[in-house]
Structure 1
Amino acid sequence: MSDLIEGTLIKRYKRFLADVELDSGKVITVHCPNTGAMTGCAEPGWRVWLSRSDSKTRKYPHTWELVETGAGMACIHSVRANALVKEAFTSGLIPGFTDYPEIRTEVKYGNGSRADLLLEGDTGKVYVEVKSVTLCSARGQGLFPDAVSDRGRKHLQELRDVLGPGTRAVMFFCALHEGIDHVSAAGEIDPRYRDTLAEVIDAGVEVMAWGASVSPQQMALSRSLTFSVDPQ
């Protein structure tokens, strides 16, 4: 994260677009790389940070990356979570996985899905699904998903289905909002996701939640967070 451009959010619309006023006063349309509701992360008037692509094929060269919310900095570019989690596993920050030194990304598995990470070693394999969490409610409660997610529920079921001798599965919630200090399923938003999550945990899928430090200069996983299926 470097050379980001600062501005003020005017509005987000059509899911993938947002209008931003730069500090120069110029108004531009930017790509919004987040398909969720972005509740609490898209208020008009908040400060935002953008990256810029030099690709000549892009209609909108700027991408919305960060926002300064009322409860802390957040990264709304959800795919960034995958790289942060991979880096944390590679560096040994996440305890309990030293027996799996090889890490691959976007590995095909299940019914046409791709595992965000596959950790491998002499003791077996670990399939890891990463979800970015930016919905922050009262008292630092992070919730996922922020909109009904049939795709997210499918990923949970596929993690359960790969379990077997020598094969582990991890649902990894990466909180990209500095105001979040514990994570739960958003049962009021998507009760089917909440129930499926509880079911796969009972079947042996492991759940981890970590928070990240977020700034225009850099991002990194920084702390393990408390997880519970339902908000405490």
Structure 2
Amino acid sequence: MKFEPALKSATLLRRYKRFLADVQLPDGSERTIHCANTGAMTGCATPGDKVWYSTSDNVKRKYPNSWELTETKAGHMICVNTAQANRLVVEAIKEGAIKELEGYPTLRTEVAYGEEKSRIDVLLQSPTREDCFIEVKSVTLLEDNDQGYFPDTVTTRGQKHLRELATLAQQGKRAVLLFAVLHSGIDKVSPAKHIDAVYNQLLIEAESLGVEILCYQASLSSEMMSINNRVLFSQFREKM
């Protein structure tokens, strides 16, 4: 995925109201940009870090600029625009970068499914195979050197998705939870039991019922992003 037009950089001053951030441009002026991330963004929104933002050509937008990446003082690149996770996964599947998900000629997104009226992020279909239901979750919380965790806050929505996937697996369908690692400093991922114990338990139960867990890292830069590297997922590792 290439950024077109190219991203521009600024310095983060503050993030507020969940959807907004103030940045300082290289010329010293300040600007308010949109933040498409409603999560805690722990470690991803430190004042003084470099922000890379895109510019929309939609003249009706109140804030035409969107926060895409954070470049931390430690040199890590983080994609904070959660909407990009699904786009990166779809692109990777189409390009054959995720070997476990090859062999499906039809790909659909945001398809209604489940008893709790959810929408699956990606549905893969083939006339010769069982449908494959994929939920995508972006991982940006870095703790303990290179250890990543999901979620970064209590997520009732994520809990619902795990219940839906578990039900699909019980019905004999292929259900996949795909963690898209959007932080260059994360080399392995675990459920954040210390943040959301309910999610952790549901994940254990879902895996025991046959839900597949995949974990892929994205290569990130201010020019482009792509998913290309599978990383370790450790189910039972806990933060001490």
Deviation per residue, 1:86-128 (Å, 9 max, x gap): 1111111212333322111111111221111001111110000
SS at match of 2:163: helix
Which residue of 2 is the match for residue 25 of structure 1?
A: 28
For the Cα contact (< 8 Å) 1:187–1:230, is it kept in 2? Answer: no
Q: Which amino acid aligns with 1:68?
A: E
1:75 to 75, 79, 85: 79
For the Cα contact (< 8 Å) 1:100–1:124, is it kept in 2? Answer: no
Once the two structures are superposed, the pairs formed by residues 193-212 of structure 1 within 5 Å of their partners are 193-212=199-218
Once the two structures are superposed, the pairs formed by residues 1-232 of structure 1 within 5 Å of their partners are 1-2=3-4, 3-69=6-72, 70=74, 72-110=76-114, 111-121=116-126, 122-163=128-169, 167-231=173-237
**Equivalents in 1 of 2:164, 2:172: separation in Å?**
16
Q: Which amino acid aligns with 2:183?
A: H
For the Cα contact (< 8 Å) 1:141–1:231, is it kept in 2? Answer: no
SS at match of 2:137: strand
Identity in percent: 48
Structure 2, gaps ≥5 residues long: none
SS at match of 1:37: coil
Cα gap change, 1:47 to 1:138, in 2 (>3 Å): same
For the Cα contact (< 8 Å) 1:125–1:166, is it kept in 2? Answer: no
Give, in angstroms, the shift of residue 166 of structure 1: 5.9
Give, in angstroms, the shift of residue 23 of structure 1: 0.8
Give, in angstroms, the shift of residue 56 of structure 1: 2.6
Give, in angstroms, the shift of residue 52 of structure 1: 1.1
For the Cα contact (< 8 Å) 2:168–2:175, is it kept in 1? Answer: yes
Cα gap change, 1:104 to 1:13, in 2 (>3 Å): same
Cα gap change, 1:26 to 1:81, in 2 (>3 Å): same
Give, in angstroms, the shift of residue 165 of structure 1: 6.1
Count of matched residue positions in the alignment of Structure 1 and Structure 2: 232
Cα gap change, 1:217 to 1:224, in 2 (>3 Å): same
**Equivalents in 2 of 1:219, 1:99: separation in Å?**
24
For the Cα contact (< 8 Å) 2:12–2:22, is it kept in 1? Answer: yes
Deviation per residue, 1:38-92 (Å, 9 max, x gap): 0011000000111111223221111100011225101000110111111111111
**Equivalents in 2 of 1:188, 1:165: separation in Å?**
31
Q: Structure 1 segments of 4 or more deviating over 6 A?
A: none
Cα gap change, 1:166 to 1:91, in 2 (>3 Å): farther
For the Cα contact (< 8 Å) 1:90–1:101, is it kept in 2? Answer: no
**Equivalents in 1 of 2:142, 2:135: separation in Å?**
21
